[in-house]
Chains A and B, each alone.
Chain A
Amino acid sequence: MDWGALHTILGGVNKHSTSIGKIWLTVLFIFRIMILVVAAERVWGDEQQDFVCNTLQPGCRNVCYDHFFPISHIRLWALQLIFVSTPALLVAMHVAYRRHEKKRQFRKGDQKCEYKDIEEIRKQRFRIEGTLWWTYTSSIFFRLVFEAVFMYAFYFMYDGFRMPRLMKCNAWPCPNTVDCFVSRPTEKTVFTIFMIAVSSICILLNVAELCYLLTKFFLRRSKKAGNPKHHPNHENKEETKQNEMNELISDSCQNTVIGFSS
């Protein structure tokens, strides 16, 4: 169980995402998770061993390290990545629920079900409409909130994003104000700025995706309002089929299917 398992879980969500969502997922895996695992973890690997204080007093180093790093950068990033990835699971669960309902219909031998076999249901890609739209939009909103909260937590805890070379520590049992030296401060600063930059890019992508979804929603509504006599015959076969499948699912098989044009 590791980041690869998260990749497997989220990979399934990729199919039902918008293009911006797919870009976001790629940025997340390549520029954040992979960088974290391959590079950043090594940089912070020896952080306490190589945190050196100018004193022989036992315990002073431990206490000073704990005072300046209540929670390590690397752990905060890992938590951020986990929390930011989790809202996508809401979408995965919603899709799984819809698939389950369709399979149930198919097994009942429902005449309304248009699929030839279970495999088709499993491979089907759902459009982001109806209740799935709300789930998807909420997941993007939560992602934004988590990103912002973690970035603020970073800024607040470490007084900015720079890693100083020297810290002055006065905590007991240090006998006086001692100089403590952080290991690899420049490399850590570089990686911190990199991670913050990629976080900001992800925030921008999420905002763009949110705007895109909202625009699409309002355009669709105004189209519906503007064309009350809109007939399925004018849509292409694929779209009509998709729309009707989605209606069927969202209304829980209560509505009758309008025959679609051949």
Chain B
Amino acid sequence: MSWGFLCDLLGGVNKYSTGIGRIWVAVVFIFRLLVYVAVAENIWKYEHDEFECNVKQPGCENVCFDHFFPVSHIRLWALQLIMVSTPSLLVVFHVAYRENREKHHNQKLYKSPGEIDGGLLCTYLISLVLKTGFEIVFLFLFYKLYNGFKVPRLVICDIRPCPNPVDCYISKPTEKMIFLYFLVATSGLCIVLNLSELSYLIFKYSVKCYLKRYVKKHQ
């Protein structure tokens, strides 16, 4: 079980997405998942070993690291990727439910089980709202937990058993900061894509609804 599993799931989602949805899947695959696995994971690999405090007191480094990094950037990033990809499964489940229903009743109940209309449209819109919501929540979490997206070179730690305020040095702070900004940029791009897809779908189906009503009136 690894990221390949998520890839397969998202590949399945691609089938029932709009054009913008497919661009979203491509952005998540290439600029978020691939960058995470191939590039970012290695930067944070030895973060605890390379976290150094200017003191010989045993336990001080551990305590300080735990204080400044309650949840590591890289773990938060992975959680964000998983949570943001999961709402798309609602659409897959709904389509599977439709197909099951058709099989059960042994007749064609829908024009096409994968076509985005009726109940499936609501599910799709809900999944878009959830995706955007998760993105914003995680960006806010990042901002709150780490006081912005900067990674300082030096932090001053004053927790027992450290005997006095000690200087602690974070490894590769500039590289980590660059990739955090990259994460924020791709998150922002995904939020923009989700909001455009939401507006596009709402607009398209409002026009469709309006035209239907208009034609009915005139008949």
Q: Are A75 and B39 in contact (CB under 8 A)?
A: yes
In the assembled complex, how far is the CB of residue A89 from the closest CB belonging to chain B, in whole angstroms?
Answer: 6
- Give 1 or 0 for each of A49-66: 1 = CB within 8 Å of chain B CB: 100000001110111011
Given contacts A58-B169, A62-B52, contact A82 B43 (CB under 8 A): no
Would you list which residues of chain B between 19 and 46 have a CB under 8 Å from chain A? 19, 22-23, 26, 29-31, 33-35, 37-39, 42-43, 46
Instruction: Check A2 against B174 for contact (C-beta < 8 Å).
Output: no
Residues of B within 8 A of A82 (CB): 30-31, 34-35, 38-39
| Contacting pair B37 A65 (CB below 8 A) | no
B123 at the interface (CB under 8 A from A): no
Residue contact A1 to B29, C-beta cutoff 8 Å: yes
Residues of A within 8 A of B164 (CB): none
Q: Is the CB of B175 within 8 A of A48?
A: no
Q: How far is the CB of B175 from chain A (nearest CB, A)?
A: 5
Cα(A70)–Cα(B52), bound, Å = 18
Instruction: Give residues of chain B (28-76) contacting chain A, Cβ–Cβ below 8 Å.
Output: 29-31, 33-35, 37-39, 42-43, 46, 50, 52-55
B50 proximity list for chain A (CB < 8 A): 48-49, 62
CB distance from B12 to the nearest CB of A (A): 15
Q: Which residues of B contact A57 (CB under 8 A)?
A: 54
**A225 interface residue (CB < 8 Å to B):** no
**Is A3 engaged at the interface, CB distance under 8 Å to the other chain?**
yes
B34 touching A59, Cβ below 8 Å: no
Chain B window 162-192, contacts with chain A (Cβ cutoff 8 Å), 1 for yes, 0 for no:
0000011111111100110000000000000
* A70 to chain B: closest residue by CB: B174
Residue of B50, B168, B175, B178 most packed against chain A (CB within 10 A): B175
**Complex contact A173–B54 (CB within 8 A):** yes
CB distance from A126 to the nearest CB of B (A): 18
The listed residue with most B CB atoms (<10 A of its CB), out of A41, A49, A62, A79, is: A62
**B residues in contact with A78, CB < 8 Å:** 35, 38-39
B113 to chain A, nearest CB (A): 14
- Interface size of B in residues (CB-CB distance below 8 Å): 39
Query: Does B90 lie at the interface of the complex (its beta carbon under 8 Å from any beta carbon of A)?
Result: no
- A63–B39 alpha-carbon span in the complex (Å): 21
Complex interface: chain B residues within 8 A of A65 (CB): 171-172
Question: Interface segment, B2-10, B102-110, B135-143?
Answer: B2-10
Decide if the interface of chain B is mainly helix, strand, loop or mixed: helix
A38: interface (CB < 8 Å): no
Query: How far, in angstroms, from A261 to B22 measured CA to CA in the complex?
Result: 39
- Total A-B pairs in contact (CB under 8 Å)? 103
B7 touches A79 (CB 8 A): no
Whether the pair A70, B175 counts as a contact (CB closer than 8 A) is yes
Complex CA gap A125/B169 in Å reads 56
Known interface pairs A48-B46, A58-B52, A58-B53; A2-B171 also in contact (CB < 8 Å): no
| Chain A residues within 8 Å of B178, by CB | 70-71
Closest to B182 in A: A79
B179 contacts across to A, CB distance below 8 A = 75
A62-B153, A71-B178, A86-B30 known, 16 other contacts, Cβ within 8 Å: A2-B38, A3-B34, A3-B38, A5-B4, A5-B34, A41-B42, A58-B55, A62-B170, A66-B174, A70-B175, A70-B178, A75-B42, A79-B35, A85-B30, A93-B22, A173-B169
Q: Can you list 30 A-B contacts with CB-CB less than 8 angstroms, sorted by A residue number?
A: A1-B4, A2-B34, A2-B38, A3-B34, A5-B4, A5-B29, A6-B30, A6-B34, A41-B42, A48-B46, A48-B172, A49-B46, A59-B52, A59-B154, A62-B50, A62-B170, A63-B153, A63-B154, A65-B171, A66-B171, A69-B175, A70-B178, A72-B43, A75-B179, A78-B35, A78-B39, A82-B34, A82-B35, A82-B39, A86-B31
In the complex, the 9 A-B pairs of residues with the closest C-beta atoms, listed nearest first: A59-B169, A1-B3, A62-B169, A70-B174, A58-B54, A78-B39, A71-B175, A1-B33, A58-B52
